Amino acid sequence: MPTFQTPQPITVAVNVPSGEVAVVASDRTDTVVVVLPADTSSKADVRAAEQIRAEFTDGKLTVEAPKKWKSFTPFGGNPSVSVTVEVPIGSALDATLAMGRLRIAGEFSGCDLEVSAGDIVIERPGGSVTAKTAKGDIRVDDAVRGVLRLDTSMGDLEVGIRPGSAARLEANALRGSVLNRLEPIEGSPEGGATVQVVARNLYGNVTIGHATLV
């Protein structure tokens, strides 16, 4: 379990072919990386977890698999790992996952997320996020402020905005429906907080509402 002293926000780059990745930003002065096999009884998963590298240099954390393991097949049989990264609030994240599930939580200065086949879950974002998946769902819960650029070719998009935050919406579902469940707010948004949502979906629905409704 690599641990690095990081009293300031850092830059994080994660590139994992297959598995589950969680990156959490909280009030802390260190960064912790935990890599486990998705299935402890699978020799391939155990070996894959052992090969994941976590390196920290000049304020940048890189978590990635060796190049020889970065190819995968969409028909299964891929080694799979579980990666958890805990970082200080205000860190920047660039995460790429070929197949699996990507979850982020907390306030990042910016997030660029991409999954080829799988879901993306974004909890309590306090900054701008770009999230794209070719086949999978994207769910955002308790967005406070920032720009959310969300794109899926096949799946559902759900956005929950914290009550009290203003919202600007630009949503399109080519072969689906756009459902806006937001209710008008009275007066100015709390602290001037505004969430801008730019959502694109080819085959699936887009649902936007207050965090308690989505």
Express each pLDDT in 93-131 by its tens digit: 999 999 999 999 999 999 999 999 999 999 999 889 999
Q: What is the C-alpha to C-alpha distance for residues 61 and 210, in angstroms, rounded to an integer? A: 34
Q: How far apart are the first and last CA of the chain?
A: 35
pLDDT category at 171 given cuts 50, 70, 90 is very high
Q: What mean pLDDT is predicted for residues 30-39? A: 97
pLDDT score recorded for residue 99: 95
pLDDT, tens digit, 9 for 90 and up, residues 12-28: 999 999 999 999 999 99
pTM of the predicted model as reported, rounded to 2 decimal places: 0.90
Contact 170, 199 (CB under 8 A): yes
Q: Quick one: how far is CA 33 from the chain centroid? A: 16
The proportion of the chain whose per-residue pLDDT surpasses 90, expressed as a percent, equals 79
pLDDT score recorded for residue 213: 45
Contact 31, 56 (CB under 8 A): yes
Instruction: Sketch the domain layout of the chain as residue ranges.
Output: 1-114, 124-214
**CA distances, 148 to each of 132, 190, 200 (Å):** 11, 19, 11
pLDDT score recorded for residue 190: 57
In the predicted model, is pLDDT for residue 74 greater than 60?
Answer: no
pLDDT score recorded for residue 212: 66
pLDDT score recorded for residue 214: 44
pLDDT score recorded for residue 69: 63
In the predicted model, is pLDDT for residue 187 greater than 80?
Answer: no
Host H or E run for residue 43: helix 43-51
pLDDT category at 185 given cuts 50, 70, 90 is low
Higher pLDDT, residue 187 or 163 = 163
Higher pLDDT, residue 188 or 163 = 163
pLDDT score recorded for residue 180: 93
Across the chain, what does the average pLDDT equal?
91
